[in-house]
Chain A
Amino acid sequence: MNREEEGKITVCRCSDVTLKEIRDLIRKGYTTLDEIKRLSRAGMGQCEGKTCRTLIMQEIAKATGKTMEEIDVPTFRPPIVTVPLKLIVEESKNEK
């Protein structure tokens, strides 16, 4: 696949990050998911990396020769699905 084709493939749909951007970062030496996330914002969008995480890990594995198990994943943080802030406020009032 050439660079132009890589640029047409979207890896992170929430933050609009292409395969080319991911591979460019890996080529520059950024071979951890955390670094790639911070530099490209892949995995920081609405789905919280549910789609792109594995795809990026595969790219890192290919480039570094590591197995998927050897690749560190960023800390998983709540919530699992998004929640309106006013619900948290109401819930806190109900408790009191």
Chain B
Amino acid sequence: MKNKAEVVIIGGGVVGCAISYELAKRGVKDIVLLERKYLTSGATGRCGAGVRQQWGTEMNLKLSIGSVKRFETLREELGYEKDIEFIQTGYFMPAYTEKQVEQFKKNIELQKKFGLKVEFLTPQDSKNVVPIVNTNGLLGATFYDKDGHCNPFHVTYAYSEAAKRLGVEINIFTEVVGIKTDGYTVKSVLTNKGKIDCDIIVNAAGGWSQIIGQMAGVKIPTYSERHQIFVTEPIEPLFRPMVMSFYHNFYTQQEPNGAILMGFGDPTEPKDFNQGHTYKFLENVTTRVIEVLPPLGKARLLRQWSGLYNMSPDKTPIIGEAPELKNFYMACGFSGHGFMISPMTSTLIAQMICGEELSIPEVKTKLDLGRFDRGELFVEPSVV
């Protein structure tokens, strides 16, 4: 392991790996990435893999639309030998209250301005998109056929292998145990395998970002929260889009191989680092999903697992340099949506570090850490 680097990136999930690639691509030398376990061992490798563009704010629309553009050609750009499995089968978002209908219609107006042809479907039309949907209580749904999903493992390894070819040093099973600063700027990173002096640190530690912040003396108001998920045995094709219900707090999708993924956001989940699994979750999610999509009752549960959402107070990411510590950059607090916007996040962080003009200039003043102290919370109406 090097003992000196220009940039040290903490975290070997998709965000950290993508940042290492974007920096190396821009000619930054001496980049070291540190991962406490193996690449994708955190939230990246446990996520639902959805890629959604149906958002309710300009910021999230820009982040997600820009990311989808990159996913479309990422494999070629990174020269990856396997398919990253980016499949656009759409997101179907049912509405069960008048308030949701109103919000969805408002979102569609904004989404149209960004060129997204999102449809508002009547319950009857919903049947054409998701034939197995139960229309009881359904008031309508939005559908966008260019949303989809992508393989988080392959995307991460595509970035990390491309980064390695550009000279990035990736150290797995290397845990950060401390950060040295002079109170003004970062000085070095201490790991279980030794010290690395560095000019810049990027905190891409996902569920552990707040702990990395503490080590650097930077208070990051993120917290971690377990989200559980399961997969079934493959069954015959029953529906194509991701079905995501804000009303029930679930998302479900049938993968290309026929297996069905189901996840549920439990509002009673405590703030901690637990990555275990519970039977209660199985009851919570199956009763809700099967009410909406009854034929899925015949699918057989294969495996359940969980991962950590790194939540920020306004459920929106923190992207940028710390106000009180120079050269300490953060890409964290993704609140369950880090994978889908990782191509844009990594580009923005690399642009900031390299002093380039940002693809989304307002990120600097709207997604920075300082917004919490200024009381300028970012409000996104469309989150689970």
Contacts and interface: CB of A to CB of B under 8 A. Distances in A.
A84 B297 CA distance: 7
A83 B230 CA distance: 12
B370 to A, nearest CB: 37
Contacts of B37: 34
A32 B282 CA distance: 29
Nearest to B275: A75
Contacts of B232: 82, 85
B78 to A, nearest CB: 15
A39 B156 CA distance: 10
Interface in B256-305: 277, 279, 282-283, 286-287, 289-290, 296-305
B303 A48 contact: yes
B39 interface: yes
A28 B29 CA distance: 24
B279 to A, nearest CB: 8
Nearest to B262: A85
Interface in B28-58: 37-41, 45
B233 A35 contact: no
Given A38-B40, A82-B233, A84-B300, A89 B305 contact: no
B91 interface: no
A88 B305 CA distance: 17
Interface in A31-75: 32, 34-35, 38-39, 44, 46, 48, 75
A92 B297 contact: no
A86 B287 CA distance: 8
B157 interface: yes
B298 A86 contact: yes
Contacts of B154: 39
A39 B45 CA distance: 11
A29 B217 CA distance: 36
A90 B312 CA distance: 37
Nearest to B234: A46
Contact of B157 (A39, A48, A85): A39
A46 B233 contact: yes
Contact of A34 (B38, B283, B287, B304): B38
B153 A88 contact: no
Contacts of A34: 37-38, 41
A79 B302 CA distance: 7
B28 to A, nearest CB: 23
A77 B304 CA distance: 6
A77 B157 contact: no
Contact of A85 (B41, B153, B299, B305): B299
B157 A89 contact: no
B303 A85 contact: no
A15 B153 CA distance: 16
A89 B289 CA distance: 10
Interface in B194-238: 232-233
Contacts of A79: 301-304
Contacts of B304: 77-79
23 contacts: A34-B37, A34-B38, A34-B41, A35-B38, A35-B39, A38-B40, A46-B233, A48-B303, A75-B305, A77-B277, A82-B232, A82-B300, A84-B298, A84-B300, A85-B232, A85-B289, A85-B299, A86-B286, A88-B301, A89-B283, A89-B286, A89-B290, A89-B297
Interface of B: 37-41, 45, 153-154, 157, 232-233, 277, 279, 282-283, 286-287, 289-290, 296-305
Given A32-B38, A39-B157, A85-B232, 11 more contacts: A38-B40, A38-B153, A46-B233, A77-B303, A78-B279, A78-B304, A82-B233, A84-B300, A85-B301, A89-B283, A91-B283
